[in-house]
Amino acid sequence: MAGSADFDLYRPSEEHDMLRETVRALAEAKIAPFAAAVDEEARFPQEALDALVASDLHAIHVPEGYGGAGADALATVIVIEEVARVCASSSLIPAVNKLGSLPVILAGDESLKAKYLAPLAKGDAMFSYCLSEPDAGSDAGGMKTRAVRDGDHYVLNGVKRWITNAGVSEYYTVMAVTDPDKRTKGISAFVVEKSDPGVSFGAPEKKLGIKGSPTREVYLDNVRIPADRLIGEEGTGFATAMKTLDHTRITIAAQALGIAQGALDYAAGYVKERKQFGKPIADFQGVQFMLADMAMKLEAARQLTYSAAARSERVSGGSAKEDLTFFGAAAKCFASDAAMEITTDAVQLLGGYGYTRDYPVERMMRDAKITQIYEGTNQVQRIVMARNLP
């Protein structure tokens, strides 16, 4: 149970440490140089996608049987964390590829997995996740998008909102109502392709942060798809969606860790160089206490996130007693709150310079905010945790 005595501190292996070094070097060389421009121009980070695909880091969670690396949950966390350290928008490439495709991995049949996971693993396509709607956010069970069976096909109609990487991704996991009388037990999951007739997209949202990752509405206008694109059985879509979020909230925690680490690293370097009253401001106790608190919160968030990742991996391997729902929510909530505090303090440590776009910490502060909101607001995470207490 949550908070039980068998809680374990999860330590990355030597392979995980090597992966971190590889991803950090790649991120600093091929992603970081474009991060400011991606934010300023609100454009998709194509350079990051190209670099991640070339190194097979864009979707390392895909099992080996479908051409993927078969990486464990912690490895995926490390990739997202290290990319987010330099560019939060770019970290949504591996994060959302996992979010969009995990329902297929968890509940899809073998033919569906082979058809959609193989192109994802090759880097030929990206995957997005369509759950939220204009009137169904935290109350996802109140969705109105419909899927009606018509012979060997389903016909989908509705609008999905806040869809990350919409318009760029080729594949979309779409939750839709197949039996309106059963509420959440009448929701089913489907794979929709960007090229399907009737699929279109709204204008990109003008956001506070993660400006390089397009967020758009997805319109489904009499979209007719083969019935074999149903993920699992009819009526199991909502359960699949919730199981997916148990795993993928950890990737948002990872993104928060990376953003916070980037801000702390920059602020720690800055205060050693910035001089006031004849000495570096790093010599002042007030500054030292701020840095100490930032580092402490970050390390606590990291340990909680890594422990949640270990539980995610064990649940994927067949264990059903890992309290993943609690730990996934806790990691996401704690890490994102910590990231907001750490990035705000980083701006404070840079003073007036921190408030300008000439320095990256203001971008990191803006990017951190979304981690408290998407994949379930932190208020909802606290409800989830409370319901899963022993």
How far apart are the C-alpha atoms of 220 and 100, rounded to whole Å?
17
- Residue tagged active-site, from 81, 133, 234, 375: 375
How far apart are the C-alpha atoms of 179 and 187, rounded to whole Å?
7
Which helix (DSSP H) or strand (DSSP E) does residue 14 occupy? helix 14-26
Q: Which residues, other chains included, contact 138 with Cβ-Cβ below 8 Å and sequence gap of 6+?
A: 376, 377, 380
Tokens of 366: 């803006």
Closest CA to 180 of 223, 219, 147: 147
Closest CA to 370 of 345, 336, 320: 336
How far apart are the C-alpha atoms of 224 and 311, rounded to whole Å?
38
Strand partners, 128: 172
Using DSSP, state whether 176 is helix, strand or coil: strand
Q: Is 308 exposed, middle or buried (CB count within 10 Å of its CB: 0-12, 13-18, 19+)?
A: buried
Closest CA to 349 of 308, 292, 290: 290
- Given CA atoms 308, 333, 103, 121 in this order, what sign does their dihedral have? negative
The three-point CA angle 329-261-258 to 5° equals 50
Is 14 part of the annotated catalytic residue set? no
Residues carrying an active site annotation: 375
